[in-house]
Amino acid sequence: MELFLVIFGLCILALLVVAVKNTKLIARLTAELRQREQIIDRQQQENLALLSRVDRQGQENTALQNRVDALSKYQTIIDAEAHARELNAQAESVFAQSKIAAAVELHEAKRMAKEELITSEMEMASARATASRIVENANKRAEEIAGNAYSAMNRAKEFADTAKAMKNIIEGYGDAYIVPTYNLLDDLAEEFSFTEAGQKLKAAREMSRWMVKAGRAATCDYAESNRRDTAIRFVIDAFNGKVDSILSRNKADNHGKLEQEIRDAFALVNHNGTAFRNARITDEYLTSRLEELKWAATTRVLKEQDREEQRQLREQIREEEKARREFERAIKDAAKEEDTIKKAMDKVLQQAANANDAQRVEFEAKLRELELKLQAAEEKNQRALSMAQQTRTGHVYVISNIGSFGEEGRSQGTSATPDVRCCHVYPIQTLEYR
């Protein structure tokens, strides 16, 4: 019986212990449940706040999208204007380059033609000299082979030439042998016939020829006509040979020296002509040939001035082309800067769309800064475009010798500078390219 009571007491004690543990567990679980309910309440409140912020952000995004849509219609206009300006600049650049290239090619073609003419003349002279040497060598070889027979044949030709010379002496050579020959001075007179100096040179040359044909270049005291004509032709031929040689050395800075040489030749020829009954060159003919020298020197100065003016004009065209390229580069740089700023603005707008209030304020400030930079870049681009247009505004000039292509022919080119320092480059018409 006592054992049963002890067991019963132990069971009751065990139940009490279990009950106490269960009570503590229930209390702890209840506390945890209350904490979880509080956490859930806080999360629900945060969710409500987030939903409210999402609603406000959606409204702000809608407003920003409306603003972007409103500004997007102007983006096409800006791009179209920039593209049009770029196409216009490219077209004008090609036009100016073609003008300059045409002028330079024309001048180069003239220069090459003159060089080829000189080269061909030198080649012809060399060929003639070579042919003479070949004939001479062949004659020597033939003489060695044929001996006296070939020498006799040559003597027959010599006799024929002597008879012909005697006939010319008896009958006279005519005026063609003693008229001053057509040489480089006549080319110079033709080239500058549009100037007073060229016309004067041409007139002086014609006067000298006319005086010879009219018998006013020289005189002689022989009574017999044939002897007088022979002596006159002799002194004229001697004087013209010396004068033509002197005139061939004509330059812009040796007029005084050549004039004295002509006067000395005049004195020597007249002195030697005293053996032929005072055969002499007239003072009138001396004056005419000195006039040739005077106007040849003047025309030579004009030619050198024209060459220098052409060089200055080509240099000026190169400088203007360099300035044009610099302005075009400035326009491209400004357009590139505009494009960079626009891309940066687009990026800022995209970032602002996903930003919170604090970040959006920062992005809006950055956007205003970019708008100011864009405005400055557009103004810079406009200034560069304006300067380029001013550079393209200029005159059309004659850039080759007037008369080089005939009386009515002109070779023209363009220059952006309204002021021309060359005295033989005349503005024809003002053109402004837009």
Show pLDDT as tens, one digit a residue, over the chain (434 residues). Answer: 677 777 777 778 877 777 777 787 788 888 887 887 788 778 778 777 777 777 787 787 777 777 767 666 555 555 556 766 777 777 677 666 766 766 666 667 667 766 776 776 677 667 677 767 776 776 676 556 555 555 555 555 545 554 544 454 445 444 443 334 344 445 555 555 556 767 877 888 899 999 999 999 999 999 898 999 999 999 999 999 999 999 888 887 788 888 899 999 999 999 999 888 899 999 999 999 999 888 888 878 777 878 888 888 888 888 888 888 887 888 888 788 878 888 887 877 777 777 777 777 777 787 788 788 778 877 877 777 777 666 655 544 444 554 444 444 444 444 444 444 444 444 433 333 33
Q: What is the pLDDT of residue 411?
A: 47
In a domain, 6, yes or no: yes
Q: What is the pLDDT of residue 141?
A: 66
Q: What is the pLDDT of residue 115?
A: 72
In a domain, 239, yes or no: no
Q: Which CA distances in Å does 178 have to 80, 175, 209?
A: 78, 6, 9
Q: What is the pLDDT of residue 235?
A: 94
Q: What is the pLDDT of residue 383?
A: 77
Burial class (CB in 10 A: 0-12, 13-18, 19+), 107: middle
In a domain, 227, yes or no: no
- Tell me the C-alpha distance between 71 and 349, whole Å: 12
Q: Count up the domains in the chain and report the number.
A: 1
In a domain, 209, yes or no: no
Q: What is the pLDDT of residue 129?
A: 73
In a domain, 272, yes or no: no
In a domain, 18, yes or no: yes
**Which alpha helices (DSSP H) does 147-215 contain, by range?**
148-171, 184-191, 196-213
| Cut 0.75: pTM above it | no
Domain of residue 3, residue span: 1-63
Q: Which CA distances in Å does 260 have to 15, 266, 417?
A: 158, 10, 45
Q: What is the pLDDT of residue 282?
A: 95
Q: What is the pLDDT of residue 429?
A: 38
Please report how many Cα atoms fall inside a 13 Å half-sphere around the Cα of residue 78, on the Cβ side.
15
Q: Which CA distances in Å does 264 have to 235, 246, 271, 281?
A: 14, 11, 10, 12
Joined tokens for residue 434? 């837009």
In a domain, 301, yes or no: no
- Tell me the C-alpha distance between 164 and 158, whole Å: 10
Residue 197 φ then ψ, to 5°: -60, -40
In a domain, 85, yes or no: no
